[in-house]
Structure 1
Amino acid sequence: MNTSSTGDFLKDFNEAFFKGKRDFIEQHVSDDVEWIMVGAMPLKGRQALVDAAFGMEDYTQMEFEIDTIITEGREGVVKGVMTSKGGNERERRYCYCDFYEWQGEGEPKITKMTSFVVETK
């Protein structure tokens, strides 16, 4: 992947989560990546992150919209809304905000993710 900016990279990375692009995620996180989902136990390592992200089948079935992407140096944030499609339950909407840290140029690798997710009414 050759993105023109770190903002494009974060957009592609975020989209990969929601579209089930496991290979993309594996390729763009460090071996010792840390994923902190606020309110849950932190995950450490590429395999733990991939297992958690793609072990939740309904997560990749959500619709999403990115509202804001901000980057500065080797840090960035993506804010958006994700919506479950419903199924047998009512549709559910969540606001999310993911903070990223990475290393490398051109082909960055995420070293730390901190995710805040709040269900809206």
Structure 2
Amino acid sequence: MTKITVSTDCGNAPKKEFLKEINIAFAKGNSDFLTESVTDKIVWNIIGDKKIDGKEKFTQELEKMNTKKASELTLDRILTHGKEGAVSGIMKMKNGKKYAFSDFYEFSGAKGAKVKSITSYVIGI
């Protein structure tokens, strides 16, 4: 089971809730939810590591990551404005490693229906 902690200032606006659920899905390895939450032309740029283009490659990357599930997820900030959003926090993996992250999201529209792009900054701590 993954322990989830969300800062009280993250609020409950629909797009903030959506980003919270996306991050929980990453922590728990819920590939189905993540795949359904992105556009067919998703671009995921993991700064300093790789750039993933398209839903098929996104899904393949999620499958690789599924072996590395988190034991804890702490979401410090969730921000949204118009077609953009950002999330920062700390993820502790089952092997004991900890990572601080900031993810920047672009939605397919102002209503936040699906994620069009993700830019991720991740550092080991």
TM-score by length of 2: 0.82
Q: For residue 50 of structure 2, give the secondary structure of its aligned residue in structure 1.
A: coil
Runs of 4+ with deviation above 4 angstroms: none
The answer on whether the counterparts of 2:85 and 2:106 sit within 8 Å (CA) in structure 1 is yes
- Find 2:25's aligned residue among 11, 16, 22: 16
Please say if 1:95 is aligned against 2:100: yes
Structure 2 spans left out of the alignment, 5+ residues: 1-11
2:120 is matched with 115
In structure 1, how many angstroms separate the alpha carbons of the residues matched to 2:71 and 2:54? 25
Equivalent positions of 1:78-89 (< 5 A) are 78-86=87-95
What RMSD in Å do the two structures reach over aligned CA positions? 1.8
Letter in structure 2 aligned against 1:113: I
* TM value normalised by structure 1: 0.84
The alpha carbon displacement at 1:96 in A equals 0.4
Cα distance in 1 for residues equivalent to 2:25 and 2:52: 19
Aligned partner letter, 1:99: F
Following the alignment from structure 2 to structure 1, what is the Cα–Cα distance between the partners of residues 41 and 105?
Answer: 14
Q: Which residue of 1 aligns with 2:47?
A: 38
Cα deviations by residue, 1:73-109 (Å, 9 ceiling, x for unpaired): 01000001011222xxxx2111001000011465611
Give the number of equivalent residue pairs. Answer: 114
Identity of aligned residues (%): 32
For structure 1, the 5+ residue unaligned runs are none
